[in-house]
Structure 1
Amino acid sequence: MADIIYTYKDSVYANITNKCNCRCTFCIRFVKDGVGDADTLWHQVNPSKEEVIDAIKNFDFTGYKELVFCGYGEPTCQLDILLDAANYARKEKGLKIRLNTNGQGSAENGRDIVPELSKVIDSVSVSLNAPSKKEYEEVTRPILSNGFENMVEFTKRCREVIGDVRWSIVDVLPQEEKDRCIALSKEHNIPLRIRKFSSN
């Protein structure tokens, strides 16, 4: 049975779905079954809302102040579960909530979901992955059309409504692409985090 709650380094994560609307070339789930203390993050059946909330309820968060929604799938593909579970973790566990996302959530759900997220999410990290539409399509391989535009618009909306938002890229990008990602982040006034790539 796949883990719903797992830890990696100094953080606790909620793995609520394996559904994803991107097929990123560097995605760790194509390399291994689990990360951190999780043996596997592959659900045989995606968990129900009740199962996710029970997992949060039964986990000992002593020493942790934040829960991150991030696993082997895109959390906004299970928006109702994300919203209810985040609300529970916030109210019942007193946790800060971070969403790690590919930024396709509004396109996936057919509406602007940022106002709903703002009620339960404290911070958002969006995978930028590449500095232009062409490069983004090549590396992220989104299922939805206009993936790059969707991601940029979603991030800008999060900046407007939620406030604490950042883009992230991995450090394996060529320096020239990293420089253009930095320029894009400055253009839109969105902080950029350059993550060290790890398959561990």
Structure 2
Amino acid sequence: MAEILYKYKDSVYANITNKCNCRCTFCIRFLKDGIGDTDTLWHQENPSKEEVLAAIRNYDFTGHDELVFCGYGEPTCALDILLAAAKVAKEEKGLKTRLNTNGLGCEENHGNIVPQLAEVIDSVSISLNAPNAQAYEKVTRPLVPSAFDKMVEFAKLCRDAIKEVKWSIVDVLPENQIEECRQLSEDTGIPLRIRHFS
């Protein structure tokens, strides 16, 4: 059975769904079954809200002050569970909450979800992956139309409602695309984090 909560480096992560509306060419879920301290993050069946909340309530977070919502699926594809779990993490465990997302949650849930996120999420990291729609479609292979524009709009909504928001890219992008991402970061007023691809 896949882990709902797992440790990776110095953080604790919540793996709440397998579902994702992208098929990124570099996604680790296509390369191996697990990461960090767990052998598998593939749920045979997606966990229920009750199972996720129980996992958080029963977990020993000693030495950790944050719970990160990031697994083998896109957390906003299980929005009801995400919101409930983040609330429990904050109110019952005293944790900060971070959402790692592809930024397509509004499209997935057919409306602006940012006000709901802002009530329980302290920081958001959005996978930019590419600096323009053409490159984004090629590397991210989204299952929704006009995904790049919708992702950028989501980022701007988060910027205006949530204290800490940043773009995230991996360092395997061509240098010219990294520079374009830096420019988009400047244009949107959202900081850019360049992660090492492992």
Could you tell me how far apart the structure 2 residues matched to 1:86 and 1:38 are?
22
Could you tell me how far apart the structure 2 residues matched to 1:84 and 1:176 are?
41
SS in 1 for 2:99: strand
Give the letter aligned to residue 79 of structure 1.
Answer: L
Normalized against structure 2, the TM-score is what? 0.99
SS in 2 for 1:45: coil
SS in 2 for 1:29: helix
SS in 2 for 1:3: coil
Could you tell me how far apart the structure 1 residues matched to 2:104 and 2:175 are?
26
Could you tell me how far apart the structure 1 residues matched to 2:83 and 2:160 are?
19
Give the letter aligned to residue 106 of structure 1.
Answer: C
Question: What is the Cα deviation at residue 125 of structure 1?
Answer: 0.1
Give the letter aligned to residue 111 of structure 1.
Answer: G
Give the letter aligned to residue 29 of structure 1.
Answer: R
- 2:128 corresponds to which residue? 128
Could you tell me how far apart the structure 1 residues matched to 2:38 and 2:191 are?
30
- 1:98 corresponds to which residue? 98
SS in 2 for 1:71: coil
- 1:29 corresponds to which residue? 29
Could you tell me how far apart the structure 2 residues matched to 1:169 and 1:93 are?
30
SS in 2 for 1:61: coil
Give the letter aligned to residue 157 of structure 2.
Answer: R
SS in 1 for 2:190: coil
- 1:142 corresponds to which residue? 142
Could you tell me how far apart the structure 1 residues matched to 2:23 and 2:145 are?
13
Could you tell me how far apart the structure 2 residues matched to 1:58 and 1:126 are?
29
Could you tell me how far apart the structure 1 residues matched to 2:143 and 2:38 are?
27
Give the letter aligned to residue 16 of structure 1.
Answer: I
Give the letter aligned to residue 171 of structure 1.
Answer: D
Give the letter aligned to residue 47 of structure 2.
Answer: P
Could you tell me how far apart the structure 2 residues matched to 1:58 and 1:139 are?
38
Unmatched segments (≥5 aa) in structure 2: none
SS in 2 for 1:126: strand
- 2:79 corresponds to which residue? 79
Unmatched segments (≥5 aa) in structure 1: none
- 2:5 corresponds to which residue? 5
2:167 is aligned with 1:167: yes
Instruction: State how many pairs are aligned.
Output: 198
- 1:19 corresponds to which residue? 19
Question: What is the Cα deviation at residue 163 of structure 1?
Answer: 2.9
Identity score, percent: 69
2:38 is aligned with 1:51: no
SS in 2 for 1:13: strand
Could you tell me how far apart the structure 2 residues matched to 1:173 and 1:135 are?
10
Could you tell me how far apart the structure 2 residues matched to 1:172 and 1:77 are?
27
Normalized against structure 1, the TM-score is what? 0.98
Question: What is the Cα deviation at residue 38 of structure 1?
Answer: 1.0
Could you tell me how far apart the structure 2 residues matched to 1:160 and 1:148 are?
19
Could you tell me how far apart the structure 1 residues matched to 2:82 and 2:71 are?
12
CA RMSD of aligned residues (A): 0.4
Runs of 4+ in 1 over 2 A off after TM superposition: none
Residue by residue over 1:52-74, the C-alpha shift from the partner in whole angstroms, topping out at 9 and shown as x without a partner, is 00111111000000000000000
